[in-house]
Structure formats: C-alpha cells, structure tokens
Copies of this chain bind each other. A is one copy, B any other.
Amino acid sequence: MTVNIKDVARVAGVSVSTVSRALGEGPVSAEVREQVQAAVRATGYKPNLSARRLRSQRTQTIGLIVADIRNPFFTAVGRAVEDAAYRAGMRVILCNTDEDPAREALYLTLMQEERVTGLIFAPTRATLDRLQADALDFPMVLIDRAGPGGQFDTVLLDNREASATLVDHLVSRGYTRIGGLFGATSTTGVERRDGYLAAMAARGLAGEARFVPPSAEAAENAAAAWLRQPDRPQALLVSNGLFLTGVVKAARTLGLRIPQDIAVAGFDNEPWTELVEPGLTVIEQPVETIGREAMTLLFQRLRTPDAPTRKVVLSGRCVARGSTAALPRT
C-alpha cells in the first residue's frame, strides 16, 4: 500500500539500486537524478527508516537518559543535545529515570535494542558503579555526573570549584554558619558537598551537609525542618535549581526573610531566580555548552574509538544577587 523504492524505480524507469544511489551518495548522472526526484514527488515516496537502519546498520539515533526532563538543568541540556543531533541528521530517544536504578537498567537495555549510535547519560551513583561491568556496544558520554576513574567521556561542571565559589562568596559577605543541602543520588551532589566542606574547612569553619532525595518537595521538607531548629544556619547552600524552589518555599512558609533571616545561594540560573525578591545568588551552568559538548565528544569517539577518554570540566559563573547580601556588622 505505502509506496516503496521499487515503485519509484518503476516510475522513474530505472533500477532500485539507482534510486537508492540517487537519493543518497553515489555516482548518478544528473539526468537520472532528476528523473528519480520527479518520480519521488509523483509517488509521494518516503523512505522507510526502519528498513534503512536494518540494512545499513546505522541507526542515526542517539539515546539521552536523564533523571527528569522537568529539572530545568536537564531541560536545557536536552534541548541543546536535540538541536545538535537533528543538525547532524540524527534522532534522539529521551528517557526519564527519576533517579531509579531499575529504570536506568531498563532503558540501557532499550538502548541496546535500539542499536543506538551513541548514548548520553546522567546516571545515578548506583548505576555508575555497575556500569563498567556490562559492556555496551556503543559509545557513551556521561553528563553532569562522573565516574571515579576516567573510564568514560564526560562533560560536567567543576562542582567542587563552584561550591567553593559560593562558600567564599558567603564568607566574604560575613556568613560563617553555612549549611549545605545536596542531592543524595548523584555524584554531583557528592562533589558539591566535598567542595563545600573543603572550602569551609579552608576557612576554619565547620560545615554541615545534608543529603535529600532528588525532588523539590523533599528539599522543602528538609529545609523546613532545618530552619525550624533554634540554631539554624545563617545561610544555606542549595545544590540545584529544583531544590531552590523548595528551600525558598520553606523559608516563606516559616516567615523567614531572605537574606536577613536566612541567606540562600544555589545552582542553576533559571529566569525566576532573578525575579524572586531579593534575587537568588546562583552558579550559572553553561547548559547549552554542556549539551553541545556532549554531542561533540560522542562524535569524536565514534570517529576515533580508541582515543583516550576525555573529561570536559566546565566552570560555572557566579551570579551574585540579594539573597546573599552582606551581613550587617555586629
């Protein structure tokens, strides 16, 4: 029923191989190429990508597995990845794991069945440990989260540096009792915690880090509990944009003013962080660059499979706003 390459060949008066060549690469006379194009238009032929993929063994598909596309960081990175992919004539299959290792495993086998050309993956720590075991038969680039050794191509933020920048910023504004709220399931959370603790220690300050499950609600609850304590910190360092909404909400609910009662510094420069008074101090991640760079690494890996593994570490930009205004001198 649906028209195939054979029909086009018949209409154009040439062989199927010639049609195939005319549509793709290969030596075809200008005359025949036009006949074929005319036949394609006349018949309304649309190549069947499943057949093409099966025969050519090239799926032109890249997988993208992230925690949750609703996390603004992944939204932006995902969009950048998709743009780069479509520009290169590739499709993207997007999967949301909600940081659930079982779903990560599920989607990994899906990627195998799809025979993806490559994979861009933001794994949980649990999966990261298990990743070396089951050898994938396509290249993989990790984003946002890094394995221990340089096993895989990776592109991520310099998380320790970024945390340290925030700590330094807070300390320079007079804050000393600074708490930190981090995502429990990612290496990112751990790295940001480490950077935070190291920077605090370097200043001779004691830090307190708390880990929470990766949702705004969990962050809100954790922040509310923390801020209700009589010896609550003066400032909170918040590990991502999702958490930020929860923390600000908790502060509002408790009637705490920012920054007078509680200062806030976090990650991810979402548009709204500028709009919520008095503006939130954040580390801006180069999200487009991360997505684009991940695709670049992937393409390079495909071209030179045996090249040494590369880790692209990008610096965040600190955007200082009112949420970390200087403490009044005592």
A-B contact pairs, 11 of them (CB 8 A): A47-B113, A49-B113, A69-B75, A70-B76, A82-B94, A82-B95, A245-B271, A245-B272, A248-B275, A276-B277, A277-B277
New A-B pairs, 17, CB < 8 Å, besides A70-B76, A94-B94:
A46-B113, A48-B54, A48-B113, A49-B113, A49-B114, A50-B53, A51-B54, A69-B69, A69-B78, A82-B94, A82-B96, A83-B96, A86-B95, A91-B114, A92-B93, A93-B93, A249-B274
Top 3 closest pairs, chain A to chain B, by CB: A272-B272, A50-B53, A245-B271
Residue A115, interface by CB 8 Å? yes
Classify chain A: how many residues form its interface, as a range.
35 or more
Q: How far apart sit A94 and B93, CA to CA, in the bound complex (Å)?
A: 7
Q: How far apart sit A76 and B113, CA to CA, in the bound complex (Å)?
A: 27
Set of chain B residues within 8 Å of A112, measured between Cβ atoms: 46
Residue A34, interface by CB 8 Å? no
Task: Please tell me which one of the listed residues B68, B75, B248, B275 contacts residue A245 in the complex, with CB atoms under 8 A apart.
Answer: B275
Task: Please tell me which one of the listed residues B47, B94, B248 contacts residue A92 in the complex, with CB atoms under 8 A apart.
Answer: B94
A59 to chain B: closest residue by CB: B50
Q: How far apart sit A94 and B69, CA to CA, in the bound complex (Å)?
A: 12
Residue A270, interface by CB 8 Å? yes
A246 to chain B: closest residue by CB: B271
Set of chain B residues within 8 Å of A275, measured between Cβ atoms: 245, 248-249, 252, 272, 276
Set of chain B residues within 8 Å of A2, measured between Cβ atoms: 137
Set of chain B residues within 8 Å of A51, measured between Cβ atoms: 50, 54
Set of chain B residues within 8 Å of A92, measured between Cβ atoms: 93-94
Residue A109, interface by CB 8 Å? yes
Set of chain B residues within 8 Å of A46, measured between Cβ atoms: 109, 112-113
Set of chain B residues within 8 Å of A238, measured between Cβ atoms: none
Within 8 A of B (CB), among A231-275: 245, 248-249, 252, 270-272, 274-275
A249 to chain B: closest residue by CB: B275
Q: How far apart sit A316 and B289, CA to CA, in the bound complex (Å)?
A: 37
A232 to chain B: closest CB distance in Å? 20
Task: Please tell me which one of the listed residues B83, B94, B115 contacts residue A49 in the complex, with CB atoms under 8 A apart.
Answer: B115
Q: How far apart sit A54 and B49, CA to CA, in the bound complex (Å)?
A: 9
A237 to chain B: closest CB distance in Å? 18
Residue A177, interface by CB 8 Å? no
Set of chain B residues within 8 Å of A79, measured between Cβ atoms: 68-70, 96
